Amino acid sequence: MSQHIPFGFSSTASEVLSGIDLTEKTMIVTGGASGIGIETVKSLASAGASVTIAARCVGVAEEVAEALRKNTGNEKIDVRPLDLSDLRSVRTFVADWDKPLHALINNAGIMALPELERSPEGSEMQFATNFLGHFALTLGLRPHLARAQGARVVSVSSTGSLFGPVFWDDPHFRFMPYDPHLAYAQSKTACILLSIGIKDRWISDGIVSNALNPGAIATNLQRHTGGLRTPEHLRKTPEQGASTSVLLAGSPLVEGVNGRYFDHCQEAPLVAQRPEGKLEGVAPYALDSDNAHRLWGMAADIVGDAKGGAIGPRHF
């Protein structure tokens, strides 16, 4: 990537989008009513974008949307119901969408569920919510992304991806003893591999896709872990945590960048092993095209389309 990006660890989402006009853009932010999702929606809307908050708890999301309309002066913030763990909900969301889509920010997530839970389809819940639901949503919206002629798909991953690859033979913990953190790690590695799969398959549609680590931010995401344990000086505010998401969704600085993993608004280095202490970088298994191809096939089988093409209402 040749263009210099003048942002880093402390940059905020509003700083990243300062002076950028997104008035003609339509975007979706999953989980846009909590945590860094709120700041992501706020910054995109402040830049003029039409933003849809896709959320499970519609009532709460409507309250957030109303507050953001007042805060940003942008009335083009709406809410649509979406439960990523339930493919029927994803199917309904996709069927109801009828506009060109310039950016899809796959932001929603759950972390470290203490007990093994399964989706209605029987998938391990973190894999189902963090990855499979987003996979199905992204495939279903592909025609609308293509219509935008230059759309971006942004997947929020985590340094959790450094703790484990995809467990090909047992992704749903039917044999292995369930481990909350390994399940989370697998799901976040899968989010990165989704971007690699899109890069390898959808370039002819003008769609690019990148993944990111937002950083350590104290949000409801850590409710099952006893709270954020990252040292204070390595933590970010939600405004800082949303910076890399909005960079990849709306900044001209990353125009055409595809299949990369970002951290602190910069492309992250490939690491040979998990670093001790300060976690940073991306594992080779998370950027591997063969892994991405294998995961795409697995996920397509699970969500009901073994060919891996666009998923619409008839394919679930």
Residues identified as active-site: 184
* Token code pair at residue 231: 């040292």
Largest CA distance in the chain: 52
What secondary structure, in 3-state letters, does 258-289 show? CCCEEECCEECCECCCCCCCCCCCECHHHCCH
Name the β-bridge partners of 153: 104, 209
The owner of tokens 């960048």 is 257
Q: Where are the alpha helices (DSSP H) in 58-155?
A: 58-72, 87-96, 125-126, 133-140, 142-147
Buried b (16+ CB within 10 A) or exposed e, 263-290: bbbebbeeeeeeeeeebbbbbeebbbee
Angle, CA of 225, 228 and 234, to the nearest 5°: 150
Q: From CA 189, how far away is CA 35, in angstroms rounded?
A: 21
Q: Whose CA is closest to 211, among 178, 187, 230, 237?
A: 187
* 84: its two tokens: 């990523």
Q: How many CB atoms lie within 10 A of CB 8?
A: 12
Closest to 152 measured CA to CA, from 208, 213, 212, 211: 208
Q: What is the layout of strands, in order, in the sheet containing 103-106?
A: 77-81, 50-55, 26-30, 103-106, 152-156, 208-213, 261-263, 266-267
